[in-house]
Amino acid sequence: DAGITQSPRHKVTETGTPVTLRCHQTENHRYMYWYRQDPGHGLRLIHYSYGVKDTDKGEVSDGYSVSRSKTEDFLLTLESATSSQTSVYFCAISELVDTQYFGPGTRLTVL
Amino acid sequence: QKEVEQNSGPLSVPEGAIASLNCTYSDRGSQSFFWYRQYSGKSPELIMFIYSNGDKEDGRFTAQLNKASQYVSLLIRDSQPSDSATYLCAVNWDNAGNMLTFGGGTRLMVKP
């Protein structure tokens, strides 16, 4: 997985609780991304980062925030989880023009 | 809105046959195109990318790009049961931000 880890790999939480997912890379790549993958919707971009403390919104950013205080870490936070945020979350990294490599994913269930 | 479309399948082919996977996209300004393979329960892995019109070959895989018709395809020769997976097409609309838009994927089944 190109030196990318995600934690936790699985999480079950309840509606209204905050959740933070972590993506860690050892490749020193500049760009990092958070996607969610749902049946019938494919991969959709939530947020991305183009450098430390530089982030921007993707296609489905409502209800999510991100932070990147170090090159190697990109955090995704659900401030108050909802059942519609039950999904598989993938982190990806990129250094060259646009080739992205994906982490192993986190399966999140919000009850 | 920029869209990437794929037939969800499943596409079923016998072992040893050529599998042809297609993808269309909505924006003529698209710069680069990617094919990812995703096994069930796993993360997407990059197979190929293509930037220019024409064919690009890598082993059993050939990517074909036709910008005028706005489609990109992936051919898998001598298909094997291990090729059974979902294939995702992705398009980069411009090189700023390195963002990709993904299609919904085509599920390929290769039968022994």
| Contact with chain A for residue B95, Cβ under 8 A | yes
pLDDT > 60? residue A80: yes
The tens digit of pLDDT for each residue in B84-98 reads 999 999 998 765 556
Q: How far is CA A99 from CA B8, B36, B64, in A?
A: 23, 11, 18
How far apart are alpha carbons A65 and A57 in whole angstroms? 9
| Contact with chain A for residue B9, Cβ under 8 A | no
- The first and second tokens of residue A52, run together, are 């430390």
% of chain B exceeding 70 in pLDDT: 95
- pLDDT, residue A39, reads 85
**pLDDT tier for residue A42 given thresholds of 50, 70 and 90:** confident
Check A44 against B49: CB less than 8 A apart. no
Which chain B residues are Cβ-neighbours of A1 within 8 angstroms? Answer: 43
Selecting from A42, A50, A90 the residue whose C-beta is nearest the C-beta of B104 gives A42
Taking the alpha carbons of B38, B75, B6, B27 in that order, is the dihedral positive or negative?
Answer: positive
pLDDT > 90? residue A11: yes
- pLDDT, residue B29, reads 78
- pLDDT, residue B84, reads 98
Give the burial class of B16: count Cβ atoms within 10 A of its Cβ; 0-12 exposed, 13-18 middle, 19 or more buried. exposed
How far apart are alpha carbons B1 and A18 in whole angstroms? 32
pLDDT > 80? residue B21: yes
Taking the alpha carbons of A84, A87, A91, A97 in that order, is the dihedral positive or negative?
Answer: negative
- pLDDT, residue B64, reads 97
